[in-house]
Structure 1
Amino acid sequence: VENAKIVLIDAALEIEKTEFDAKINIESPEQMDAFLKQEENMIKGMVDKVVAKGANVILCQKGIDDLAQHFLSRKNILAVRRVKKSDMEALAKATGAKVVTNLNDLSAKDLGYAQLVEERKIGDNKMTFIEGCKNPLAVTILIRGGTERIVEEAERSLHDALCVVGDVIEEPKILAGGGAPEMELSKVLKEYAESLPGREQLAVMQFAEALEVIPTTLAENAGLDPIDIISELRAQHEKGKTWAGVDVDIGKVGDMEKAGVFEPIVV
């Protein structure tokens, strides 16, 4: 469905059962026909309320009667039933639609919008894709992989990346990565420690050396010789190269600013 006008319904499009057990005595074919006709009219009335507001896509948190599906199909309206509550909340944020609990309260302003709504088969599963929303406040990222382990690893990496983006949005300040800030701070603290007496000097020196654990760990994780890397980093920072850090892409010390390696200041 293109240019979809979406209605989110937290109500069943079907004849609900009564709270109490009840029996209807039908004594003739005419009564049976009248009973079925009344049921059909009630369901058709529900569908007409949606159609009257201009919707062409229905996402329902509860059930949709087969007869209602038939009437909706005749009106070229796509209907999806049994949508999870969490998905309904996300869809409301994405499409701008308002979740309606009573069809009698439905109005045109409750509808959401998407450029395209269609069903696709991904692997063995059928999924409904809703794309091209205006100013979406929620999106879905589909992760696929050859094995469950690969998918889980990709999900963790993606989660970390999204958290970094969130941190930058909250505190829009960044600094160089690759252990460059820690090495520069270590150098400055060592210089400062020389001006201190006795135990104070030792304490500051120990803290300065502790900061070098970060670039050391980066080098080890990248399969590099940490001793050579730390020695080179110290030499580079002594020469005033503040941005010198561990560049894991080239496997040696590099300029983090030129390499575009940055991290949020809140990390």
Structure 2
Amino acid sequence: MSSRGQQPLFILSENNERTKGQAAQDSNIRAGKAVANAVRTTLGPKGMDKMLVGSSGDVTITNDGATILNTMDIEHPAAQMIVEVAETQEVEVGDGTTTAAVLAGELLSEAEELLDSDLHPTVIVEGYHEAARLAQEAIDEQVLDIDLDDDILEAVAESSMTGKGTGDVTAEVLAAQVVGAVQQVAGGDRIDREDIRIHTQTGAASSATELVDGVVLSEEPANANMPRSVEDATAAILDADLEVRTSEADAEYKVSSVDQLNAAVEAEDSELRRYAETLTDAGVEVLFCTGDIDDRVAGYLADAGILAFESVSSKKSKSLAKATGAKHLGTLSDLDTEDLGTVDSVSIQTYGDEEAAFVDGGTETDYVTLFVRGSTDHVIDELERALNDAIDVTIAALDKGGVVPGAGGTEVAISDHIRSHAAGVEGRKQLAIDAFADAVDALPRTLAENTGMDAIDALVDLRAQHDAEGIAGIVSTGRSGEIGDPVEAGILDPAAVKREAIESATEAATMILRIDDVITSE
């Protein structure tokens, strides 16, 4: 019988790089941990800010996890998975991005020790998924049986903004405005997040931030002679140009006399004048036009006392429809009084070289705007991020399952619940479940570190008070913190934020752990 020599078989080109086995796992875990560590110090009310400087010199100062991770130029594929965790958290519930990223990093760190102890990745993944299920049970048990009135919602909004840059105005004041905005548009089975917008304007202290029952436009009036303000006015929204109609055919007209020219000009002017007359006859006092308005039409509208805005974006026009109750018109020939809306007032305000139009639809409007002020672009950017988070968590509390204790209280309950059930799990999977609980403990431990407390002592005291009273958290006091009742301190988080953080962090960590071969092509 003949034998054949075994020759090595190369299936990849020389331009490919391949990392296998433990080397691949170590690389991925280190990358994931590095991303989590990049945002760890921003967690909690005493978290620090990061200064992010772009290649063009633009500067962003923030402690928002999603903003930090999205701005960083991250190339490692495993690290990008942690960034995706933050992005998912931001999209789904609007807050908790740092929590999710830190938890994912801690799960990888705990898994690293288990792998060094020869625990198979599949066993770790199974244990993590079982622990995540137990964590969801613990969150459900922590949901407070209380009415979500304005005071509770303001506590939720304030908790999300505490520690973020809010300028000279307290988070408590902004929280009241956020809840007012959410309650204004609340109706039916679900709150439409798009019904609450933020309009920013530099040039004043953040305490000048106000809630507008309607829309704020950056567009200026179509004619300088138009009124600067109107009250109790009838409004129309037009999706068309107010210009001379042009023929679609490529026609050429020959004018042989001055009379013919004058007749053509008069016909054109008559057409433009009819636009203004049609609007005037219908009782329109404010016009929002998504198309262009001819200068002559704008002049006729001004003569009629009509305030008109041109080139309004389709997104803003939809907002105006909700704020005023007006319907979109394709042409003026479709104009009917039933298609018109009303506004309590429209006023043009000047801010330096810029103007803003405040379209107030009244207290019954289905659309609101937070008009945010700040002294600098950096301040106003961070304030906008804080308010967006506050709006999202308030809606999440109302729409997605209530609220739970904050300040690390829910995380302590989660780790305690997981450990109490881990003892009943046979085999090596129990080690992974216990490791998951240790990873969750890293969240209150990090809160303690960022608050200036001793992390180990704080965690021991948290567990002791939780065992004794059933609830314990790290309550920030002045420059430090203490162990207390987060509910009594008014520190509340939406349950949905905790659920999403557990789910997304677990999925990312287990996906990374299952990778044992990295092939890079050039």
TM surpasses 0.5: yes
Counterparts in 2 of 1:181 and 1:42: CA distance versus 1, 3 Å: same
| Cα distance per residue 1:149-193 (max 9 Å; x no partner) | 222222222221122122123224111111112212323444444
> Shift of the alpha carbon at 1:44?
1.8
The residue aligned with 1:256 is 486
The residue aligned with 2:291 is 62
Distance, in Å, in 2 between the alignment partners of 1:201 and 1:14 is: 74
Distance, in Å, in 2 between the alignment partners of 1:112 and 1:172 is: 36
| Cα distance per residue 1:36-62 (max 9 Å; x no partner) | 332222112111221222210011111
Distance, in Å, in 1 between the alignment partners of 2:270 and 2:414 is: 77
The residue aligned with 2:243 is 14
TM-score by length of 1: 0.88
> Shift of the alpha carbon at 1:145?
2.5
The aligned runs of 1:1-267 (5 Å cut-off) are 1-19=230-248, 20-28=250-258, 30-133=259-362, 135-193=364-422, 199=428, 202-240=431-469, 242-250=470-478, 251-267=481-497
> Shift of the alpha carbon at 1:87?
1.2
> Shift of the alpha carbon at 1:21?
4.9
> Shift of the alpha carbon at 1:75?
1.8
| Native 8 Å contact 2:401 2:496 kept in 1 | no
Distance, in Å, in 2 between the alignment partners of 1:149 and 1:128 is: 24
Name the larger-Rg structure: 1
| Native 8 Å contact 1:59 1:83 kept in 2 | yes
SS of alignment partner, residue 257 of structure 1? coil
Of 228-237 and 198-207, the range deviating more from structure 2 = 198-207
Given residue 303 of structure 2, which amino acid in structure 1 is its aligned partner? R
Distance, in Å, in 2 between the alignment partners of 1:191 and 1:172 is: 25
| Native 8 Å contact 1:178 1:246 kept in 2 | yes
Distance, in Å, in 1 between the alignment partners of 2:458 and 2:254 is: 86
> Shift of the alpha carbon at 1:200?
5.7
SS of alignment partner, residue 370 of structure 2? coil
SS of alignment partner, residue 239 of structure 1? helix
Unaligned ranges ≥5, structure 2 = 1-229, 498-522
TM-score by length of 2: 0.47
Question: Would you say how many aligned residue pairs link Structure 1 and Structure 2?
Answer: 265
| Native 8 Å contact 1:174 1:264 kept in 2 | yes
Counterparts in 2 of 1:14 and 1:256: CA distance versus 1, 3 Å: same
Distance, in Å, in 1 between the alignment partners of 2:242 and 2:345 is: 24
Q: What's the % identity of the aligned pairs?
A: 34
Distance, in Å, in 1 between the alignment partners of 2:289 and 2:368 is: 19
Counterparts in 2 of 1:198 and 1:55: CA distance versus 1, 3 Å: same
Distance, in Å, in 2 between the alignment partners of 1:44 and 1:196 is: 82
| Native 8 Å contact 2:291 2:311 kept in 1 | yes
Distance, in Å, in 1 between the alignment partners of 2:483 and 2:289 is: 57
Given residue 77 of structure 1, which amino acid in structure 2 is its aligned partner? I
Distance, in Å, in 2 between the alignment partners of 1:199 and 1:81 is: 68
Counterparts in 2 of 1:104 and 1:195: CA distance versus 1, 3 Å: closer
| Native 8 Å contact 1:13 1:46 kept in 2 | yes
Distance, in Å, in 2 between the alignment partners of 1:49 and 1:34 is: 22
Distance, in Å, in 2 between the alignment partners of 1:172 and 1:25 is: 73
Given residue 255 of structure 2, which amino acid in structure 1 is its aligned partner? N
Counterparts in 2 of 1:222 and 1:122: CA distance versus 1, 3 Å: farther
| Native 8 Å contact 2:255 2:261 kept in 1 | no
Counterparts in 2 of 1:164 and 1:33: CA distance versus 1, 3 Å: same
